[in-house]
Amino acid sequence: MARSRGEKEDCYDKSTGLIKLLQVLSFLVVFVVGVVIGLATSAHINRHFDAQTEIYSFINHFSSSKETPHQQGEPSCTVAQSCERIDCLSMETFLEPNNLTHGMTDNELFWRASMVPAKKEYPYQRVPKVAFMFMTRGPLPLMPLWERFFQGHDKLFSVYVHVVPGYKLNASTTSPFYRRQIPSQPVSWGTITLIDAERRLLANALLDFSNECFVLLSESCIPVYNFPTVYKYLIGANYSFVESYDDPGRYGRGRYSRKMLPDIQLYQWRKGSQWFELSRTLAALIVSEVQYYTVFSKYCLPACYPDEHYMPTYFNMFHGSLNSNRTVTWVDWSLGGPHPATYGGDNITEDFIRSIRNNGALCQYNAEMTSICYLFARKFAPTALEPLLELASSVMEF
Ligand SMILES: *[C@@H]1O[C@H](CO)[C@@H](O)[C@H](O)[C@H]1NC(C)=O
Ligand SMILES: *[C@@H]1O[C@H](CO)[C@@H](O)[C@H](O)[C@H]1NC(C)=O
Ligand SMILES: *[C@@H]1O[C@H](CO)[C@@H](O)[C@H](O)[C@H]1NC(C)=O
Ligand SMILES: *[C@@H]1O[C@H](CO)[C@@H](O)[C@H](O)[C@H]1NC(C)=O
Ligand SMILES: *[C@@H]1O[C@H](CO)[C@@H](O)[C@H](O)[C@H]1NC(C)=O
């Protein structure tokens, strides 16, 4: 027992001596090698680089390969350079997506469009734009009139067109309508799919951070004032223009369903024209809203039409203070029946257009009264195009 213990101790003593010797030797070797490397490197650096770039070049020297000899002032930071060429996080495409043909689903699109910056100051010179959103079944026969209206005001507006899927809008490369078609879905008039299309237009337009006002238009709409007047009127307004009124008759309250309780009470129910103008704030709310959209999709079925009740009711319930409760799109219901009057070539006269621009009535605008109540009008047939173009400069001033 003792012997074995002694051997062990002896053995232990011998090995500790060896280890100590090795440690001293390795320290010496490391020290000498270190001194040599240090001297060689500092000499190299001193020969080639000045003091300011010393650390940078030293790192650079060791990261660059032997095949490409290092040259002064040309750091080989390949990762940073390739990212710079592609611009992985370009502000330009973030602020104003120029390719409207995206592959997002409605769900993805509405989520992106619902984002509102928490920081109020923009990091760029933001010139507010008006988004003109056209909901059409196909061609835009009055496009030449609109092209004339837009001419010369490039940075102040943007155009979005919702068509039937598969239809390709024919616009020349210089037209403001060129490549402004958004990914569209089928729409059945009078159903919730109409609200879906409106939300799709709003969401695509919201992706452009300069859009401040959002106007819904159809293929039979025309402008009745020139662009500067329309722009000033909409951008300067304290309120949005969503018609919202209480109609006690069968076409108003008559379309309310008690199944909408407890979300919507009868006294909150409102009616209004589909053709709206929204501020950016209200547009973002509409693409984000789920609860009342769901109620309307379930219980507002013909003869209830969601496009005439969803926004008027929702804004009345929650955002009445931001709404003027009137529309800026003129229409003629005087003939009666389910559809408004359509005006063709024979009906277009100077007096008629002047009467839409100013019929003697006054409308509230911010804190004042104004004779300009309507900026747009419907419905106009394709045959109205030529006479309207003839009147454009003398009556509509564009
Ligand atoms: C736009 O984006 C789509 C899908 O992301 C792509 O297929 C198309 O080529 C793009 N168009 C242009 C003109 O870049
Ligand atoms: C497209 O429009 C051009 C004029 O802008 C016209 O010449 C051409 O016939 C149109 N094409 C179709 C398919 O309508
Ligand atoms: C409407 O806007 C004008 C000018 O932008 C402002 O002076 C006025 O106080 C606003 N009125 C309301 C009711 O917000
Ligand atoms: C519009 O209606 C709301 C109620 O929905 C009301 O609070 C608001 O004052 C009205 N707006 C104007 C400009 O009268
Ligand atoms: C348009 O003109 C035609 C032909 O003169 C007329 O029959 C029609 O009633 C007019 N339409 C409207 C809405 O005034």
The pTM of the full predicted model, rounded to 2 decimals, is: 0.80
341 lines ligand 5 (CB under 6 A): yes
Report mean pLDDT in 10-residue bins for the chain, 398 residues.
35 44 56 50 42 36 38 40 63 84 94 95 95 95 98 97 94 96 93 97 97 98 98 98 97 96 98 97 98 97 95 98 98 89 96 95 96 97 98 95
> How far is the centre of ligand 5, averaged over its atoms, from the C-alpha of 342 (Å)?
8
Domains in the chain, ordered, with CATH?
107-117+124-396 (3.90.550)
Whose alpha carbon is nearest atom 9 of ligand 3?
Answer: 367
pLDDT for the residue 195? 97
Ligand with minimal distance to 99 CA: 1
> How far is the centre of ligand 1, averaged over its atoms, from the C-alpha of 103 (Å)?
9
- Provide the CA 88 distance to its chain's centre, in angstroms: 19
pLDDT for the residue 216? 98
pLDDT for the residue 26? 62
Ligand 1 atom nearest 99 alpha carbon: 1
347 lines ligand 5 (CB under 6 A): yes
